[in-house]
Amino acid sequence: MCGRFSLTAPLEEIIEFFNIVNGDGLDYEISYNIAPSQNVLSIVSDGVNNKGGFLRWGLVPSWADNPSIGYKMINARSETIDEKASFKTLLKRRRCLIVADGFYEWKRDDQGNKRPFRMVHKNNHFFAFAGLWDRWEKEGTVLHTCTIITTQPNEIMKDIHDRMPVILPDEAQKIWLDRNIQDTNQLKLLLTPYAAEEMIAYEVSPLVNSPKNNQVECIQSLA
């Protein structure tokens, strides 16, 4: 799964890399410890341009009776994404990128303790997670929410956890955001483990265990 990540890159670099047309209007703050139910910087296409905005992490499908379902839907499994009622329509019509520069996972050691690790790009570049989003409205309340798609672990991850978020390379990002593409088989081919040789993993402080802690120490290596 993916239950925590970070985004500390300068907004100007994110805007330039993803060609975001409305970047000047984004109320962006860096975060060392992003958790479910928080707003996350996301990118969608309007058919012509890439637009940035914030989606609440934890998908609330448009048909849901209660928005609390979002706490159970922070991730979507790539293997069954075209089968689940919550996701299959969104896979065709409501895809997004979720921007991060690292993500956390917890490894259980021989004593049963869970030790947090942070995974980053080897060049400290930011990532684009594959995501789905939806709009929910009831009694005047409107929510725009998202989920992060997960897949099998690569060689870096498999010793830490049995799942990892789908990280889309540059060309795959363009396909994922292209609203004209609705072939689910073509889209699922993009949902593969990121190249292990492009990533590094390192142990971090248990500070990251609590989303109340949001300081630079969360991303620093213990080594």
Q: CA-CA distance, 88 to 85, in Å (whole number)?
A: 6
Q: Among 132, 116, 138, which Cα is nearest to 213's?
A: 116
Domain range enclosing 77: 5-219
Q: What is the CA radius of gyration of the chain?
A: 17
Q: CA-CA distance, 104 to 208, in Å (whole number)?
A: 8
Q: What is the pTM of this model?
A: 0.96
**Which amino acid is located at 113 in the chain?**
N
With b for 16 or more beta-carbon neighbours within 10 A and e for fewer, the 151-166 pattern comes to bbbbebbeebbebbbb
Active-site residue (options: 2, 96, 146, 218): 2
Whether residue 218 lies in the annotated active site: no
The CATH number that applies at residue 157 is 3.90.1680.10
Identify the pLDDT of residue 68: 94
Whether residue 2 lies in the annotated active site: yes
Identify the pLDDT of residue 111: 82
Stretch 74-87: mean pLDDT: 94
Structure letter (DSSP) for residue 32: E
Report the percentage of the chain scoring pLDDT > 70. 100
Active-site residue (options: 79, 83, 105, 218): 105
For residue 154, give every residue at least 6 positions away whose Cβ sits within 8 Å of its Cβ, in sequence order, or none.
164, 193, 194, 195, 196, 199
Stretch 73-92: mean pLDDT: 94
Q: CA-CA distance, 163 to 69, in Å (whole number)?
A: 22
**What are the pLDDT digits (tens) for 154-194?**
999 999 999 999 999 999 999 999 999 999 999 999 999 99
pLDDT of 113 higher than 90: no
Domain total in the chain: 1
